[in-house]
Each structure stands twice: as C-alpha cells, then as structure tokens.
Amino acid sequence: MNDQRSKPGVTARFQWQIRVYFEDTDTGGVVFYVNYLKFFERARTELLRACGADQSAVAQNDGVLFVVRSTAVNYLSPARLDDLLMVEVTITRLGRASIDFEQSIRRGDTVLAQSSTKVGCVGRDSFRPAELPAPVRHALEAWRHAE
C-alpha cells in the first residue's frame, strides 16, 4: 500500500498500487472495462481501512453498510497485462449519509481512467439511508485535513 497525501491546501489523495493480472484482461491482453470498477472499489476500501474503518467491522458493530449509489467512468487509454497501476482516491464531499469520491487510474504519468462515485450508507437490515458512524466520519475528516 502506498498512502500519500498531497501538499497542504490541496485535497488529500490516497494512492493504492495494483498489478494487472491475466484474469483482468480480455483475449488481447487489455483490461476488460468492468475491471476498472473493481480497481476503484479496492482503492476506496483500502482508504477506509487505512482510516480505521474496516467495512466488516462497521457492518457488525454499527449496522451500517456502504453501497454504491452511482458511478461514472471515463476510459482514456487501455491498461494491459502486467501493467503496474496507481489508483488515486480523493473524497470530494463527506455528507451525513454519503461520501463522494473522485478517482483515477494511472500507469506512470498516463491517466488511463477517471471516475466519480457516490457511496451511500444504509442500515444493514433495512437498507434504508443511515448516518455515517461518527468514528468513521471523524477518521475521514482527519485524513482529509492531515498535512
């Protein structure tokens, strides 16, 4: 894992490195489009984990689940078998019951894909909107404002 924050005055950015495996590609060795969503999901999960918000524990202890409400992806350039990619995550909005993320996937200096994703919090049993647990909110706010 590579957790890097940007310079003061700029929104904090989390980075997660991932390698492209054969299972991620089509027969031409190019990453299948839906797998970018998996890469984005893994980086968001690792950001939460790095902030002390293990999703299993939040579900068990607080009865809250994180669900994707919407996502939009722009595919700019293909990733290929064996590429080493950097997935970057920025929280653009932290609401009472939701988190908005901007993400990108890079190979070196080349941006391959960008996404905007809205994640909502719902009750584990009801699947109705639920507040982001206070410890999770505080951890994410502290991470966003750390220098």
24 in catalytic set: no
Residue in this structure with the two tokens 């968001």, named with its chain if needed: 44
State the Cα–Cα distance between residues 109 and 68, nearest whole angstrom: 28
Residue type (1 letter), 65: L
Q: Are strands 110-123 and 98-107 parallel, antiparallel or unpaired?
A: antiparallel
Question: CB of 12 within 8 A of CB of 147?
Answer: no
Q: Among residues 3, 24, 26, 82, which one is catalytic?
A: 26
Task: Report which DSSP code applies to 24.
Answer: G
Catalytic residue list = 26
